[in-house]
Structure 1
């Protein structure tokens, strides 16, 4: 595509867009076409030849330029298969591209599976597919949200929000709770702040943790359209009817969790180390899914393509975009009215303990936390805390019985450390020899984060009604009876 001899746009302006389209695995021709939408075409121009030069300077090489074979990808594949043991050939191609910057042709990947994993290939051809029907009018028609409780045995709670039309994952978060309506609302408001717009409606199952989103979104919609006063802008879906998040969790269970569960099952997690690391892994998974085209399906009416591209350019797919711009200050007003930022649910660990853990981590030299190092970092942190002379007062009583004989050396792995069993599913330092040390007291302190996990947020909505900024909008308050009786009436 000629650039009509116009000067190139500044590299610092187009490089992020080139990288974004590269992650979506667009062709050079498609990248140039997309760049025309984001540059000032009256002043600048760019063609395929120049794009290739810029791409080469950025180190972005196509599959034929990298020249991989079954032998060159073997070691990396073995490493990734530990974490993604159930991924198929298409998914592994995507994982290699997004996690290791390796562009591998499909024929090479098929040869690898035929050579090293023929039994798994036969299993994946069983075609055990269950279909569910879902309708969406266009991009930003709705956001569907849902929680995931399969990792509660590790003390880890997941939550996600999906834009169903494009299939884009809007957020996927891990924390020590997914039942607090203020916490769940914060995920939604953070996403709206990043986007600068909101969907027409939100959708969830009947759980009380979704009251915050239901109230806040209704308030925002009424704020921007007074004609909606007295209406609910949230859909309550009964069990198994919130289809898109269910599909997302099913894919996560198959693709992401097996390898990480194998890692976590080795012992009890420690939230200060594990939650931030797992959030980084989930962000990478979300980025990979949002930039990977789904397998073509003749039964699917919704557009086929890359979720991120569909979401940002719905007009290219003949789709409508129902997004609603958000007035300045609206989100912050909702956040101020409906969220208590000092609530303990927003604390990763109790603040005093957090400061001490940060000090121990600094003392260890701030080691990088990865899949291969996370347990070593955790155990060395545990050891550093046991050897510390300035433990926080609230956990000192738990360590009075520890003698010098109980001190543990720095460990490179977790195999020599017996972990205490606790059927509550939440972590404490735990695992010290003889079952003594930072156990019951510290564990109880962490559990206090869940003691007030479902505060009543409806009073905040009532306060908002009288606020002049809302001009008397009405927000519905929900009771268990209302949800049970009218869950599907929308």
Structure 2
């Protein structure tokens, strides 16, 4: 009997518009997800119930790139050379370079090609520079375990490119603050003017809660007065929205030594491989430590404000790229590991039930977050402010006048040198220089 509806009897769900579906499928490839996980995401997040054959047809229809269809050897070689040139210490392996090319440049390259190209560029096997024993090994740790996501969040500040670490002058430095779920995902990483101010960290914590609409059962951090607001907010929100939890069994906050706060502390080493060492060495070009002199005068108000205005943006871009890379990179499979391995942190976080984990997030309404934020003496705009408003306005105009060049670590000082004399001219000619003394 003829089927007048033309349907096959299978409910495939509702497909999003082609332009949205194309973006979704390309993002899957950019994140390096397997077909099975892509199908799960399509069903769980987008209501599409299809099989691998249909997914392959859609990938072909929307021209989703694939390593198997790789043919742009010249473009791939240039991309690999660019990534390798940014990694001064040559600490990135083929897998990292391949993932960076996908995430940052949207170029899909076979791993074998990446490795062969790196071998020719670096002059030796890429693994030679990263082999075990070349550097002193990490401190031995026990296996981490957890019931689920949002069971525990680890928070910590990072000052490797801060004022005290760089020693380039008063006010010259960028602090970083990060928060990571115990199961693996990096939840928040942001450049801040001062990672030791309680008001600043209070706002950073509330920003993270606002993004996810939830808090964890516990927050673990290094002890210190800088975390007064963070601790108070975590405790208040948990007592309000999860009063059934016993503080004896599940404390809302735990202060520990840095060496024990493993998940977030270990993250900084990955960040240094991806950004930190290269970033710090390039920043230190202005001090002469790296064998090159950039004309940065710490006591010069124009220079100091410009450093903070420009490099805070560049550092944040670098952090965003690192978080994207870290959360989408498959971890090394480890038989002895209790928590999931061999899968990207984002996948585990989005589908915890597939890995024997629960979602322990404690939902928090935005109204409650706003009420707590009002308790902080320093407004958010002030706590996270890098420069005076008058400087920000003039700097934006000067930057736009230069054509708004791309903000990258390797071009940061060139932009700095181009903007500095133009800013000085603007402030002097308009009588605004005295405003910087406020």
Task: Give the TM-score normalised by structure 2.
Answer: 0.81
- Unaligned residue ranges in structure 1 (runs of 5+): 396-441, 446-490
- Per the TM alignment, residue 13 of structure 1 is displaced from its structure 2 partner at its CA by 5.5
Residue pair 1:142, 1:202 contacting (<8 A) in 2 also: yes
Residue pair 1:203, 1:234 contacting (<8 A) in 2 also: yes
Q: Does 1:96 align with 2:112?
A: no
- The one-character-per-residue Cα deviations of 1:50-105 (angstroms, maximum 9, x if unpaired) are 43344345442110112355x65333222211222311122111111111222222
Residue pair 2:179, 2:264 contacting (<8 A) in 1 also: yes
Q: Among residues 378, 393, 416, which one is paired with 1:340 in the alignment?
A: 378
Residue pair 1:63, 1:104 contacting (<8 A) in 2 also: yes
Q: Among residues 10, 16, 37, which one is paired with 1:10 in the alignment?
A: 16
Pairs within 5 Å for 1:353-368: 353-368=391-406
- The one-character-per-residue Cα deviations of 1:3-27 (angstroms, maximum 9, x if unpaired) are 9264751225645543443333123
In structure 2, do the counterparts of structure 1 residues 32 and 273 end up closer, same or farther at CA, with 3 Å as the change threshold?
same
Residue pair 2:218, 2:254 contacting (<8 A) in 1 also: yes
Q: Among residues 149, 155, 166, which one is paired with 1:145 in the alignment?
A: 155
Q: Does 1:215 align with 2:232?
A: yes
Q: Among residues 56, 67, 70, which one is paired with 1:63 in the alignment?
A: 67
Tell me the distance in 2 between the aligned counterparts of 1:314 and 1:22: 21
Tell me the distance in 2 between the aligned counterparts of 1:3 and 1:264: 62
Q: Among residues 280, 285, 289, which one is paired with 1:261 in the alignment?
A: 280
Residue pair 2:39, 2:51 contacting (<8 A) in 1 also: yes
Tell me the distance in 2 between the aligned counterparts of 1:192 and 1:16: 27
In structure 2, do the counterparts of structure 1 residues 174 and 51 end up closer, same or farther at CA, with 3 Å as the change threshold?
same
Tell me the distance in 1 between the aligned counterparts of 2:337 and 2:26: 29
- Per the TM alignment, residue 119 of structure 1 is displaced from its structure 2 partner at its CA by 5.6
Residue pair 1:222, 1:229 contacting (<8 A) in 2 also: no
Task: Give the TM-score normalised by structure 1.
Answer: 0.73
* SS in structure 2 at match of 1:295: coil
Tell me the distance in 1 between the aligned counterparts of 2:432 and 2:380: 21
- Per the TM alignment, residue 338 of structure 1 is displaced from its structure 2 partner at its CA by 3.0
The structure with more radius of gyration = 1
Q: Does 1:392 align with 2:399?
A: no
- The one-character-per-residue Cα deviations of 1:429-468 (angstroms, maximum 9, x if unpaired) are xxxxxxxxxxxxx5x76xxxxxxxxxxxxxxxxxxxxxxx
Q: Does 1:280 align with 2:317?
A: yes
Tell me the distance in 2 between the aligned counterparts of 1:361 and 1:324: 43
- Unaligned residue ranges in structure 2 (runs of 5+): 1-7, 167-171, 287-295, 297-305
* SS in structure 2 at match of 1:240: helix
Tell me the distance in 2 between the aligned counterparts of 1:38 and 1:3: 23
- Per the TM alignment, residue 342 of structure 1 is displaced from its structure 2 partner at its CA by 6.1
Tell me the distance in 2 between the aligned counterparts of 1:177 and 1:374: 21
Tell me the distance in 2 between the aligned counterparts of 1:29 and 1:344: 46
Structure 1 residue aligned with 2:355: 317
Pairs within 5 Å for 1:6-45: 6=12, 9-11=15-17, 14-15=21-22, 17-40=24-47, 45=49
Q: Among residues 337, 340, 345, which one is paired with 1:300 in the alignment?
A: 337
Q: Among residues 74, 89, 92, which one is paired with 1:87 in the alignment?
A: 92
Q: Among residues 209, 216, 223, which one is paired with 1:192 in the alignment?
A: 209
In structure 2, do the counterparts of structure 1 residues 76 and 363 end up closer, same or farther at CA, with 3 Å as the change threshold?
closer
- Cα RMSD for the two superposed structures: 2.7
Q: Does 1:381 align with 2:427?
A: no
How many residues are treated as equivalent by the alignment?
Answer: 392
Q: Does 1:111 align with 2:116?
A: yes
Structure 1 residue aligned with 2:290: none
Q: Does 1:204 align with 2:226?
A: no
* SS in structure 2 at match of 1:60: coil
Tell me the distance in 2 between the aligned counterparts of 1:138 and 1:149: 30
Residue pair 1:113, 1:121 contacting (<8 A) in 2 also: no
Residue pair 2:210, 2:366 contacting (<8 A) in 1 also: no
Residue pair 1:144, 1:202 contacting (<8 A) in 2 also: yes
Tell me the distance in 2 between the aligned counterparts of 1:343 and 1:107: 48
* SS in structure 2 at match of 1:358: helix
